Amino acid sequence: MADAVKLVELVRAGRVESIHRGHAVVADFNGEVLAEWGNTDAVIYPRSACKMLQALPLVESGAADAAGLGGNHLALSCASHQGAHMHTDLVTSWLEGLGLAEGDLRCGPQIPNDHEARALLREGFGQPCQIHNNCSGKHTGFLTLNRHLGGGAEYIEIDHPVQKAVREAFEAMTGAPSPGWGVDGCSAPNFACKVGDLARGVAKMARPDALGGVRGKAAKRLINAMMAHPLLVAGETRACSELMIAAKGKAAIKTGAEGVFVAILPGRGLGVALKIEDGNSRASESAMAALLVRLGVLNPDDPAVQKRLCKPEINRRGILAGSIRPHDRLYQGGAAL
């Protein structure tokens, strides 16, 4: 990936030990770039960072209202969750309300990341299922849309009406035809785009009144749902949830696999997108925390922000051995953007 720049570094005993390079863009709802690092034209897979774009057809089609979905369901449709009971219980009841079951999902089973849920499975000699999958909320949203559209059971196929609707929304929001797609970890198509276009796409969700119409109303509902239910979007200890709580209604924040992260700032009509070249999440979390501090939506002294912004490296004896921190060219001491 050409033209990536230093965004995050690991420092030990005052010496830089490791460097994470990448691309980052801050754009407004008109598509103008406010700030950039690296190459805004770098083509990436946005992975789960684009789930709120993928969820637009669920709401704007009328499927969400027809199924009686609340804000908690909409937040879960944008989630990469831990598989905690708060997540799996809601997915289970949502499926039951549709007259469907775990076998109708196409995301595959996953061992839950939530410690309690994993321990209960182990103690009960249980097996993880598709409801534990971190993308089961997104997939239940797909099933809800599919029932509304009357499509076949294989809703993850690229030519299925559900994925055609997702692609249309994704390309309209990013402002460009996708150059291609890949199979995501949950088996659904993931449409590639430029980093800059991803920032522009989420920036449009930050100003839904300018977006207008049915799509603008759908964008507003999804973003408000994420900010109202941050723990459903990820879970305890997760960066998405903890940083959204710290932002206090100023940002909807979403991570994706392989070092992708986005943020939506409704108060400023801005979108942020970044990609760490080596795919490391410790770096993407630090870089996003740095940008949101500079954009005035996070307090650098908040403990949830501190543990990502300048994450201490503690060795096995509990001794501070180093820290992961944003590079000076990205953070600039927290100077306002």
- Closest to 233 in 3D by CA, of 262, 204, 205: 262
> E strands of 125-185, at which residues?
181-183
Q: Residue 2: its pLDDT value, please?
A: 58
Query: Token pair for residue 14?
Result: 């005052």
Give 161's contacts (C-beta < 8 A, 6+ positions apart). Answer: 146, 149, 150, 151
With a CB cutoff of 8 Å and minimum separation 6, the contacts of 129 are 102, 109
Amino acid at 75: A
Structure token digits, residue 100? 């469907």
106 and 156 in contact (C-beta within 8 Å)? yes
Helix (H, G, I), strand (E, B) or coil at 59: helix
Pairwise CA distance, residues 201 & 216, whole Å: 12
Residue in the structure block whose two tokens are 């944008």: 78
CA distance 230 to 5: 31
Residues 44 and 29: beta-carbon distance below 8 Å: no
What are the CA-CA distances from residue 216 to residues 91, 122, 263 (Å)? 26, 44, 17
Per-residue pLDDT of the chain (337 residues; tens, 9 = 90+): 559 999 999 999 999 999 999 999 999 999 999 999 999 999 999 999 999 999 999 999 999 999 999 999 999 999 999 999 999 999 999 999 999 999 999 999 999 999 999 999 989 889 999 999 999 999 999 999 999 999 999 999 999 999 999 999 999 999 999 999 999 999 999 999 999 999 999 999 999 999 999 999 999 999 999 999 999 999 999 999 999 999 999 999 999 999 999 999 999 999 999 999 999 999 999 999 999 999 999 999 999 999 999 999 999 999 999 999 999 999 999 999 9
Amino acid at 241: S
Name the 3-class secondary structure at 190: strand
pTM higher than the cut 0.85: yes
* Alpha carbon distance, N-terminus to C-terminus of the chain: 26
**Helix residue ranges, H only, 113-160:** 115-123, 136-149
- The CA distance from 249 to 267, in Å, is 9
Q: What residues are paired with 13 via a beta bridge?
A: none
Whose CA is closest to 337, among 299, 300, 295, 298?
295
CATH assignment of 5-334?
3.40.710
Residue 124's pLDDT is what?
87
Instruction: Say if strands 181-183 and 43-44 run parallel, antiparallel, or are unpaired.
Output: unpaired
Q: Where are the domains of the chain?
A: 5-334
